[in-house]
Amino acid sequence: MKIEDTMNGFDVIWDLGRRCTYACTYCPPHRANKISPIVTFKDLKESMDFLDQYVKIYEGIRGRPYTKRKISFTGGEPTLHTGFLKFANYIKETYGDRYTIGITTNGMFTKRQANLYKNFAGTISYHAEATPEEKKIVIDNIYLIKHWQVNVMFHKDYFDECIKLCEDLEKAGIKYIPRRIGDDGNDQSSIRRGYTHVYTQVQENYFEKHWTMKKSKNNDKNDKIDLDQIYVNTLAKSNDTGPKKEAIVVKENKKPEVSKVEIDKPLDKKAVVEIDSKSWSPSANEEDEVSQIDIEESLDKKENKVKENTTENKDLDTKVTVYPSLMKDKDLKSRKSKGRMCCGGRDFCLTTSDESKGKLATYVDNTNFYGYRCLVNHYFLYINQETRDIYHHQTCMVNLENDVAPIGNLDNSDAIIERLTKYETEKSWPVISCPKTFCGCGMCVDKIDPEHDIKEHNFGITKVELVPNKLKKMEDTRTITVRTRMESIDDALYIENFNVR
């Protein structure tokens, strides 16, 4: 499989700090709190020279300028920072149209503030855990700034409320994205703590139908909707009837014939799968979700070898293959991850064995790109103002040494520029070989299956040779994530605030 970017844009995600007006249960401590310091205009201004140099180097080695360069301020809640608005105006005055300014906000601000922000690009994230009064303010601001996108964070306990909001936004012509909660894939610790939500079968059907219908609208030239592109086997697990291991679809060449009318119906086929001499019917348990017992038993399993149990599912014309939920290095390629849409709603070109000429898409049914050659660094940069660390991407965090770690720090940004200049001079540029089994934001940019030679698919980058990194064993991969960096500074931060009291 190959994914190619179609936007030719560069996105800078600039995290101003964790301080936030909300305290959502699904937002982990390394993403939000009430006490992180407020960033100043001076701090931000000093970092902008580095950023502009960085982008120019990438434009140079690509042989063409980016069509669009966007700086998106996030947090925490970026509108809390007193220096933010002054800095945004400084960028406009200094760099003109070279950079577009964007904000990702929870929308909890006054009408006066809304009128100040509406001249920028922006995204409002709707959080259903807020109070009714807070949600009214947010919805009023959504309708006031109608040209912004709305990320509707689909809380599993407020699912109907989120659906109703999406229906209202659709009628009002406001762009929205139904967002799953959680960027950690199938990480069981994240699920247990509530940072990643596990949805019921009925809720999974909503996501499936939404993206199926969106795909139908985007493919006006096609008379038939190809449901085989979409991961439809989201079998529900329950406490005493569902399998304790991941059920994964392995598609056959024959495709089920599904009419457009059937898209609006939940999956109610009595698909019976034999697993460990037990059978279960997803339609009988479709409102159940993965239980705590399932999760704990999965974590306690000793996975010494991979057991594969494949049986036919005639109703769906597929085979269901069961893999252990905990994987060793040798099994990483086989792991099935949940499908995902581009969180920015962008189109990308998707080339598969079934679509050899490629086609526009916004959704991929499996985001396990383990071992893929990935050029995410050519399209993204993540700056964390609080830790002062710089990463290629906010959720991916893989650098050009194939470690999950920063590329450098704002205090030694000159070293980053020197390293990139060396790559440019030597005309040899490292390429990330993905060490992960789940891809979140960033799945929409250039990546290619390792079975193909990246030199034959140069993605328009002609001035340098692309040299794929070798994959490391998991135990050899250096890991310095935003979470671990935040944990290392939290003790001092809390002590400082405690002493102030």
The whole-number pLDDT of residue 253 equals: 39
Q: What is the pLDDT of residue 233?
A: 32
DSSP letter (8 states) at residue 214:
H
Give the integer Cα–Cα distance in Å for 68 and 64.
12
Element housing 499 (H / E)? helix 482-500
Q: Which residues fall within 8 angstroms of residue 189, CB to CB, at 6 or more apart?
A: none
**Euclidean distance between CA atoms 376 and 459, whole angstroms:** 12
Going from N- to C-terminal start, the domains of the chain cover: 2-105+199-214+325-490
Q: What are the backbone angles phi and psi of residue 490, rounded to the nearest 5°?
A: -65, -40
Q: Which residue has the tokens 């103002």?
A: 385
Residue 336, pLDDT score: 56
What is the model's pLDDT at position 39? 87
Q: Is 297 in contact with 245 (CB distance < 8 Å)?
A: no
- Each residue's pLDDT tens digit, 377-393: 999 999 999 889 999 99
Name which of 44-48, 357-361, 407-411 the model is least confident about.
Answer: 357-361
The pLDDT of residue 213: 80
pLDDT at residue number 494: 54
When pLDDT is cut at 50, 70 and 90, the band that residue 477 belongs to is confident
The answer, yes or no, to whether residue 44 has pLDDT greater than 80, is yes
- Residues 226-255 have pLDDT tens digits of 333 322 332 232 233 333 333 333 333 343
**Residue 331 confidence (pLDDT):** 54
What dihedral do alpha carbons 282, 286, 291, 297 form, nearest 10°?
Answer: 10
Cβ 204 vs Cβ 198: under 8 Å = no
Closest CA to 392 of 483, 318, 290, 481: 481
With CA atoms as reference, report the closest residue to 487 among 44, 33, 26, 104.
33
- Weakest-pLDDT range from 31-35, 404-408, 486-490: 486-490
Weakest-pLDDT range from 21-25, 308-312, 321-325: 321-325
Q: Is the pTM of this model over 0.75?
A: no
Confidence of residue 316 (pLDDT cuts 50, 70, 90): very low
Helices (H) then strands (E): counts for the chain: 10, 23
Most confident of the ranges 112-116, 188-192, 221-225, 268-272: 112-116
C-alpha to C-alpha distance for 415 and 407, rounded to whole angstroms: 10
